[in-house]
Chain A
């Protein structure tokens, strides 16, 4: 089974509008972390936001917020007031507490390509 599922291969949003990118995850670990990364066409991976499984409040970083619904195992990224520079691939990732020999490896979804329309 996929550990991280991003069901939207591509999304379009009008500039200045808000957009939600979906992410569901699968783990039996009680302690885990969820991350969102942005990958523009230049290729680098840019960290956006982090949510720990025990965090009581949804994480926010500027225009980014994470809609964390633990019971549903979802961690959707919300981008408010979209800008043209937000056009990129967006990846959801998970770090499980007990993933292999004390490793903190991240498991990534396949990504969502966001296009912001002027």
Chain B
């Protein structure tokens, strides 16, 4: 039973490029969360999605960041025109609808912006 999968594990982008981070939840999980971890910090909530719906994006920066969780396929966190301050680890977590607050984390994607 595969856990939460994230790819790529490491991503390097130059300033101004786009970054796409993918998250495949655990089988049977319909809830996805994205968190960001800056160096030497704890994780900070960004967005909560269910299939085809954004439920809570209160932690997402207003510009350049977007997220989706389509009916088929992984959840995508997209960062346009990346800046150095976007360098961080991005974690995805998934939970089943029956126990939505039990979150299982993926291994994270480490984004480095040059």
Q: Report A's interface with B, CB cutoff 8 A.
A: 4, 33, 37, 43-47, 50, 91, 93, 95, 100-111
Contacts and interface: CB of A to CB of B under 8 A. Distances in A.
Contacts of B63: none
Contacts of A43: 89, 107-108, 110
B55 A103 contact: yes
B24 interface: no
Interface of B: 31, 33, 35, 40-45, 48, 55-56, 58-59, 89, 91, 93, 95, 100-108, 110
Contacts of A91: 42-43
A33 B101 contact: yes
Main DSSP-derived SS at the B contact region: strand
B21 to A, nearest CB: 14
A108 B42 contact: yes
Contacts of A108: 35, 42-44
